[in-house]
Amino acid sequence: MTTLLYTHPACLEHDPGSHHPESATRLRAVLETLGDLAFARLERREAPEAAIDDLARVHPRRHVERILRAVPKSGYVGIDADTIMSPGSGEAALRAAGAVVAAVDSVITQEADNAFCAVRPPGHHAEPERAMGFCLFNNIAVGALHAREAHGLDRVAVIDFDVHHGNGTQATFETDDRLFYASTHQYPFYPGTGAASETGVGNIVNVPLRPMSGSMQFRAEVGRRILPALDDFRPQLVMISAGFDGHRRDPLAQLMLDEGDYVWITEQLLEIAYRHARGRLVSTLEGGYDLDALSASVAAHVRVLMSV
């Protein structure tokens, strides 16, 4: 039983500015923790760059080219108030999406049971034609469409437990009933989408949670709304947008979750992956802005992936 870890040093070179919460120190903290002896069995892989053809399954080619052309030679370029590029951003974004594509390949060809992508920039806010919310390309959506189109899978599911709603993933999936997207998120909150009434073509499950919801309500709602719908969908691949900014110590949000909740949901999703998808599961890092909470939560999440 093998768990792969995809990452790349280039992901540390994306610099949205010295006061930005989505900093390279996040990924450094995660990699330091996963460098611990307890994770010696993780098989480490260098994330390749995504091909433009991979990205173009989600983002129109001219949009991809526009983003890559806008990467500055020096200094910073702002796409919006929160989404800033530095000279290292282009390669980082290509490696972040490429990690998920490569992880999908490895898991589908049964080289490994599951995989975690420790990458940045994150992806779930990136809409087909709009980079936003710290995200340039939608890494997980690119991976999901690759699984379907390059490997011929019929049903791919993404579960997103980042504290923010993955508007970009929803926008990519909402008209396609062979894709499934479920999200828990603080609501009302950035980016404003994610109401329970947004159901796509019956393939979107949004679980908005009030600030201060906490563990009990999170688990109850996931158990009542997401897991049964996911079971009905019978995914052939389970993918996770693993954001850890729902943690009680996170400075950006107030959902009051802890490592135990991330262990719990990872176990539930792994169980569904074994029931329907031969265990195939690919997880990728999204948010999480308290360094200690982030590294402890990633460690808890990856430990469950390795425990199968």
CA distance linking residue 286 with residue 158, whole number of Å: 13
Establish if 287 lies at the interface with Zn ion (CB under 5 A).
Answer: yes
Cis bond upstream, residue 251 (ω within 30): no
How is residue 291 annotated by DSSP? H
What is the closest distance, in whole angstroms, from the C-beta atom of residue 80 to Zn ion in the complex? Answer: 15
Q: Is 125 a catalytic residue?
A: yes
Structure tokens that stand for 161 in this block: 């437990």
Query: Which residues lie closer than 8 Å to 106 by C-beta, 6 or more apart?
Result: 4, 45, 112, 115
* Region near Zn ion per CB under 5 A, out of 54-62, 95-103, 154-162, 181-189: 154-162
Supply the Cα-derived Rg of the chain in whole angstroms: 17
Q: Which of 8, 14, 45, 164 binds Zn ion (CB under 5 A)?
A: 164
* Region near Zn ion per CB under 5 A, out of 10-18, 146-154, 184-192, 236-244: 236-244
Q: Which of 54, 127, 160, 162 binds Zn ion (CB under 5 A)?
A: 162
Pick 229 or 252: Cβ nearer Zn ion: 252
Nearest to residue 20, comparing CAs of 68, 74, 89, 70?
89
In this chain, which residue has its C-beta nearest to Zn ion? 287
Contact 247, 238 (CB under 8 A): no
Pick 91 or 162: Cβ nearer Zn ion: 162
Give the interface size with Zn ion as a residue count (CB under 5 A): 5
Pick 54 or 250: Cβ nearer Zn ion: 250
* Region near Zn ion per CB under 5 A, out of 160-168, 196-204, 218-226, 271-279: 160-168
DSSP string, 37-60: GGGTTSEEEEPPPPPHHHHTTTS-
Contact 136, 65 (CB under 8 A): no
Give the x-and-dash track for 244-273 against Zn ion (CB under 5 A): -x----------------------------
Pick 22 or 54: Cβ nearer Zn ion: 22
What is the closest distance, in whole angstroms, from the C-beta atom of residue 238 to Zn ion in the complex? Answer: 20
Contact 111, 151 (CB under 8 A): no
Establish if 243 lies at the interface with Zn ion (CB under 5 A).
Answer: yes
Q: What are phi and psi of 204, to 5 degrees?
A: -120, 130
* Largest CA-CA distance found in the chain, in angstroms, rounded: 50
Pick 6 or 244: Cβ nearer Zn ion: 244
What is the closest distance, in whole angstroms, from the C-beta atom of residue 60 to Zn ion in the complex? Answer: 25
Contact 107, 115 (CB under 8 A): yes
* Region near Zn ion per CB under 5 A, out of 66-74, 99-107, 209-217, 284-292: 284-292
Known catalytic residues?
A: 125
Residues found near Zn ion in the complex (CB under 5 A):
162, 164, 243, 245, 287
